[in-house]
Amino acid sequence: MLRALLIGLTLLHLGPGLAFALLAFGCGDGALRLAPLCDGGLGAFIRLTLALWVALTLAALSWALIRGECVHDRPRPRQRAVTLLALVGCGSAWAAIGQWLTNQPAAWLVLPATVAAGWLALANPLACTASCPAPDDCPRT
């Protein structure tokens, strides 16, 4: 329960914090060109905060699904499909935010990178196996 509360508070504060940082440092002559958002005032801040909350929530959901899958002995195809869809949704949200902020189509490279990183974390056999109390109790590979 405490973990869920801490994750919720973290996501609640990261959305406006990241939105403020993007608007504060991205509206100058920097690499980001946030011209549509720089003149938007509070409305632009709220839209950016909501978009970041969606992306951060999808990222937290994807990570929770990956961590939950590592607890089971055998792979579950339905759970893996849900995890893959969550990873695709997370990558799409971050790519859409990147496209929206920079107006560059290269932001969509985040999608395959997110799916690959999440799937590699899921496929790591060392993270999914529990340590054996005695060497004789470990299954032979």
In the chain, count H helices and then E strands: 6, 0
Task: Determine the pLDDT at residue 141.
Answer: 46
Cβ–Cβ under 8 Å, residues 47 and 5: no
- 29 vs 12: CA distance, rounded Å: 29
Please name the helix (run of DSSP H) or strand (run of DSSP E) that holds residue 65, with its range, or none.
Answer: helix 42-69
Q: Which two tokens stand for residue 52?
A: 């970041």
* Alpha-carbon distances, residue 47 vs 34, 37, 77 (angstroms): 13, 9, 36
The one-digit pLDDT tens for each residue of the chain (141 residues) are 787 788 788 888 888 888 888 777 777 665 556 666 777 778 878 888 888 888 888 888 888 887 777 666 666 778 888 888 888 988 898 898 888 877 788 889 988 998 888 888 777 555 555 555 555 555 554
Q: What is the 3-state secondary structure (H, E, C) of 109-122?
A: HHHHHHHHHHHHHH
What's CA 52's distance to the chain center, in Å? 10
Q: Which two tokens stand for residue 47?
A: 């839209």
Half-sphere exposure at residue 72, Cβ-oriented, CA atoms within 13 angstroms? 12
Global pTM reads: 0.64
Q: Look up residue 130 and give its DSSP letter.
A: P
Cβ–Cβ under 8 Å, residues 22 and 48: yes
Q: Which two tokens stand for residue 37?
A: 């958002």
Q: Which two tokens stand for residue 95?
A: 């790519």
